[in-house]
Amino acid sequence: MSAITSQCTIKRSVTLVGRGLHSGRLTQVTLCPGAPHQGILFRVVWRGKEKTIPALFPYAVLGPRSSVLQNGEASVATVEHFLGACWMAGIDNLEVIVEGEELPAGDGSALHWMRAFSQAGIQEQGIERKVLCINRVFTVGSGEGYLFAFPASEFTVTYLLDGTALGEFFQVLTLREGEFPEAVAGARTFAFFWEREELEQRGLGMGVRDTALLLDPFGLGNRLLRLPCEACAHKILDLLGDLMLLGVRIQGGFLGLRSGHALNHELVRMLWEEMGNGDRQNSNYRS
């Protein structure tokens, strides 16, 4: 993750084609340089028309095991891995032209997006980023899942995962601002073996049937893991993508315990309201 304080975009446009993670349908996405203060702006080709959808919390809805952006009847699904890659690559401003209903999944990780950013090149725009400083503790969750945000001198995320009553493993991983992000970028989407039948019945994960991880009760995968805590790393990737919906960078710590998109959205809603519904003059900001 970049420690650069200037807003950044890409130098040139780049196009990717791939299948959506859940739908399995082909989508073409063109990433274009964005203007300062623009943020991540999706232009979705929908019913022969182009609809604009900002990557901001008021446009976010929960999808099936995913985050979706929606403006009226137009939507683009499974945006979290792409937005997580934007966070890690230090990209603040982009135009994203989407011809389809769901972003390409690659192998279920964010590596294909990171490669696209590398191909396009990244450039600083000479304008300071806005940073939200977490100044108190925020807590969401109940039962088995919790997510916390708290004051810290830097951005840091720790995630803890176990199999609850059905598993016999425990994983924990921490990522800090400035650390090499490839372990998180390469972490593939996963599910537990005991969820497989339900996912198939719901028609989910169609685009990553050959690459996604299935974890057994001992935390072992049906495929060779890229790192021992790959599931935790993927949860961090999801959280980074959902935090991008705030439209700012963050100074603060996050701790997740079996949390997912529902709790991510709940916490992002609280932080959005803390910012004054997007009021960039809120006293919790700094340049």
Could you say which of 22, 81, 234, 261 is catalytic?
Answer: 261
Cα 12 → chain centroid:
23
Q: What is the pTM of this model?
A: 0.91
Residue 279's pLDDT band, with cuts at 50, 70 and 90, is very low
Q: What is the pLDDT of residue 114?
A: 96
pLDDT in tens, 43-92: 998 777 889 999 999 999 998 888 999 999 899 999 999 999 999 999 99
Cα separation, 184 vs 240, in Å, equals 10
Supply the pLDDT for residue 213.
81
100-157: per-residue pLDDT in tens? Answer: 989 999 889 999 999 999 999 999 999 999 999 999 999 999 888 999 999 999 999 9
Domains, the chain? 6-128 (3.30.230.20), 131-286 (3.30.1700.10)
Q: Is 265 a catalytic residue?
A: no
